[in-house]
């Protein structure tokens, strides 16, 4: 059952495959590493697009959710339980294969939680935190909401920066590969570049399909109605508080999943992933991508993140995103990739007719 609505997805898949071949042919296979990282950041950004562009709720704390995912997985998968292996509870978990023995970098063996379990725990923790934060702060609107989420992001940043267990300023390294299936794992091994590239962009494809469906559904209309006129949405029976909360949780979970995967891909995570500048960057990209445009956001996010990761912005990396934010807010608060072509054409026709009438 293919229809017009599947075309963008198919085109996207074609581009993903095309870029991989292009990198291969031009001998720039190392680009795939940054492209893989770009994919994970895109996951955060398209989730934030649903929250900001469609539900109309800003969050300046999404780097916090990314960090919650990444750090939870990093802590759990590097926590060596070997000394406690005699305890009945640990022994039971070993039997259930929740915990397994794996070799460490130095030839020894460690007993750690399986990444799948760590990933699930990270997602559950994110849902709980997003729920607890979302209920009070989503009552706020506009810049009050922005400031409250900024406060949340700041707290998470301070926690990861100041906690020894989270590696303080150094972060956590030696995070093991995430074996998704036998023979398929998320890791930074240079021999696994291509498979990692497809895992990452595969996740983005899945997210785009799911979010695209959501936007076109009853829920998507309800979210857009909240964005446009919250009291009218409520009068039409939309439980606005619940829908905003669910959109917040959904986008937080996507950020957390991105955090989990990127941490296993990089083999490490540091406090900069939780920094406010990262949150600002995500918001800037959603804005420049057109706010209420999943594809525009994905396109701009991919280009800007890739350029940033390749170091094209040099020491002005953060400044570029700050500058983008200023320009967008000044000249096109609705985002630049949202030209209403039909509207512009109509206006043009009106003007032409108007000048004829006048003549």
Partner 1 sequence: MVLLDVRNISKRFGGLQAVKAVSFVVEQGMIKAVIGPNGAGKTTLFNLLSGFLLPDTGTILFNGEPIHGRPPYQAAARGLARTFQHIKLFSQMTALENVMVGCHVWSRAGFLAGMLHLPRTWQEEREIRESAHDLMDFFGVASLADIEATSLSYGQQRAVELARACAAEPTMLLLDEPAAGLNMRETADIARLILKIRDRGVTVLIVEHDMSLVMNISDEIIVLSYGEKIADAKPGSIQKNPDVVRVYLGEDDA
Least separation in angstroms between residue 271's CB and partner 1 is: 32
Q: Among residues 125, 194, 205, 210, which is the contact residue for partner 1, using CB under 8 A?
A: 210
Sign (positive or negative) of CA dihedral 318, 259, 48, 29: positive
d(CA 328, CA 232): 28
Least separation in angstroms between residue 238's CB and partner 1 is: 6
Q: Which residues ranging from 271 to 310 are in contact with partner 1 (CB under 8 A)? A: 292
Asked if residue 246 binds partner 1 (CB under 8 A), the reply is yes
Asked if residue 229 binds partner 1 (CB under 8 A), the reply is yes
Q: Among residues 3, 27, 231, 315, which is the contact residue for partner 1, using CB under 8 A?
A: 231
* Closest among 322, 246, 271, 265 to 57, alpha carbons compared: 246
Give the β-pairing of 99-103 and 178-181.
unpaired
Q: Which is nearer to partner 1, 130 or 219 (CB)?
A: 219
Least separation in angstroms between residue 6's CB and partner 1 is: 11
Window of 19-27, 79-87, 227-235, 308-316 that interacts with partner 1 by CB under 8 A:
227-235
Window of 114-122, 135-143, 194-202, 210-218 that interacts with partner 1 by CB under 8 A:
210-218
What kind and span of H or E run contains 99? strand 99-103
| Biggest distance spanned by C-alpha atoms of the chain | 94
Q: Which is nearer to partner 1, 90 or 241 (CB)?
A: 241
Torsion of CA 203, 209, 211, 214, to 10 degrees: -150
Backbone angle region of 70, left / alpha / beta, with phi > 0 → left and psi within -120 to 50 → alpha:
alpha
Asked if residue 233 binds partner 1 (CB under 8 A), the reply is yes
What kind and span of H or E run contains 112? strand 109-113
Q: Among residues 224, 276, 277, 318, which is the contact residue for partner 1, using CB under 8 A?
A: 224
Q: What tokens appear for 334 in the block?
A: 């609705």
Least separation in angstroms between residue 219's CB and partner 1 is: 4
Asked if residue 123 binds partner 1 (CB under 8 A), the reply is no
Beta carbons within 8 Å of 257's beta carbon, 6+ residues apart: 43, 69, 119, 123, 203
Asked if residue 208 binds partner 1 (CB under 8 A), the reply is no
Asked if residue 211 binds partner 1 (CB under 8 A), the reply is yes
Window of 89-97, 147-155, 207-215, 320-328 that interacts with partner 1 by CB under 8 A:
207-215
Asked if residue 235 binds partner 1 (CB under 8 A), the reply is yes
Window of 152-160, 177-185, 219-227, 301-309 that interacts with partner 1 by CB under 8 A:
219-227
Window of 36-44, 145-153, 188-196, 238-246 that interacts with partner 1 by CB under 8 A:
238-246
Q: What tokens appear for 248 in the block?
A: 């917040």
d(CA 8, CA 10): 5
Least separation in angstroms between residue 92's CB and partner 1 is: 32
Q: What tokens appear for 211 in the block?
A: 């979010």
Least separation in angstroms between residue 217's CB and partner 1 is: 3
DSSP state of 182: T
What kind and span of H or E run contains 253? helix 240-266
Would you call 59 helix, strand, or coil by DSSP?
A: coil
Q: Within 13 Å of residue 131, how many CA atoms lie on the same side as its CB?
A: 6
Asked if residue 2 binds partner 1 (CB under 8 A), the reply is no
Asked if residue 3 binds partner 1 (CB under 8 A), the reply is no
Q: Among residues 123, 222, 254, 287, which is the contact residue for partner 1, using CB under 8 A?
A: 222
Contact 233, 222 (CB under 8 A): yes
Q: Which is nearer to partner 1, 128 or 236 (CB)?
A: 236
d(CA 151, CA 281): 16
Q: Which is nearer to partner 1, 172 or 204 (CB)?
A: 204
Residue numbers of the site for partner 1 (CB under 8 A)?
210-211, 213-214, 217-222, 224-225, 227-229, 231-241, 246, 250, 292, 343
């Amino acid at each position: 059952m293919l229809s017009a609505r599947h075309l963008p997805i198919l085109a996207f898949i074609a581009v993903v495959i095309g870029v991989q071949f292009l990198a291969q042919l031009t001998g720039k296979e190392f680009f795939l590493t940054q492209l893989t990282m770009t994919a994970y950041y895109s996951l955060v950004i398209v989730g934030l697009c649903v929250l900001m562009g469609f539900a109309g709720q800003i969050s300046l704390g999404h780097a916090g959710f990314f960090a919650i995912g990444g750090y939870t997985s990093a802590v759990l998968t590097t926590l060596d339980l070997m000394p406690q292996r005699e305890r009945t509870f640990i022994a039971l978990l070993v039997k259930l294969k929740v915990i397994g023995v794996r070799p460490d970098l130095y030839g020894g063996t460690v007993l750690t939680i399986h990444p799948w379990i760590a990933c699930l725990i990270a997602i559950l923790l994110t849902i709980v935190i997003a729920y607890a934060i979302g209920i009070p702060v989503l009552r706020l609107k506009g810049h009050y909401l922005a400031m409250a989420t900024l406060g949340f992001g700041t707290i998470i940043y301070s926690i990861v920066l100041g906690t020894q267990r989270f590696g303080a300023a150094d972060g956590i390294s030696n995070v093991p590969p995430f074996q998704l299936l036998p023979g398929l794992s998320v890791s930074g091994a240079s021999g696994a570049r291509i498979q990692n590239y497809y895992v990452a962009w595969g996740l983005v494809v899945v997210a785009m399909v799911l979010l695209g469906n959501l936007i076109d559904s009853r829920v998507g209309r309800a979210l857009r109605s909240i964005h446009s006129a919250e009291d009218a949405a409520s009068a039409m029976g939309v439980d606005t508080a619940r829908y905003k909360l669910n959109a917040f949780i959904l986008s937080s979970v996507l950020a957390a999943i991105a955090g989990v995967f990127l941490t296993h891909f990089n083999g490490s995570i540091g406090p900069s992933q939780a920094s406010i500048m990262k949150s600002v960057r995500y918001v800037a990209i959603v804005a420049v991508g057109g706010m209420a445009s999943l594809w525009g956001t994905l396109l701009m996010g991919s280009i800007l993140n890739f350029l940033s990761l390749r170091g094209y912005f040099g020491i002005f990396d953060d400044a570029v995103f700050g500058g983008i934010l200023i320009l967008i807010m000044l000249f096109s608060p609705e985002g630049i990739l949202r030209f209403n072509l039909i509207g512009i054409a109509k206006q043009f026709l009106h003007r032409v007719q108007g000048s004829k009438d006048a003549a």
